[in-house]
Amino acid sequence: MLTRRRDKPSCRSFFAAGAVDGVVFVAGGHDANNNALSTAWKYDIRADEWTELPGMNEERDESTGIVVGSEFGVVSGYVTQAQGKFMKSAESFRLSSGN
């Protein structure tokens, strides 16, 4: 049986994602107008609640998400103006604080 859960606060696709201990993290991607995003959210599965995280320093469309230890990393991606030119950098969020 499937249970309907709360929708995420904003529409996005091609985002980075990771999950650990019942919490899902999403960051970057692009909106309906193909604008790259720098926003990030976490979703607590048990509480059925979305919380906005501090924004990333750069927009990151088509990035990759990875959870390592106590960090959620957002790797590569590109900004709107450089579509398809992937960055050789990463940003991370400390899972305990969300920063």
Q: What is the tens place of the pLDDT at every residue in 38-93?
A: 999 999 999 999 999 999 999 999 999 999 998 999 999 999 999 889 999 999 99
pLDDT of residue 51: 94
- Write down the residue that tokens 């991607």 correspond to: 29
- Dihedral of alpha carbons 12, 51, 53, 94, sign: negative
- The C-alpha angle with vertex 65 and arms to 76 and 1, in degrees rounded to 5, equals 150
pLDDT at 8 over 80: no
pLDDT of residue 9: 78
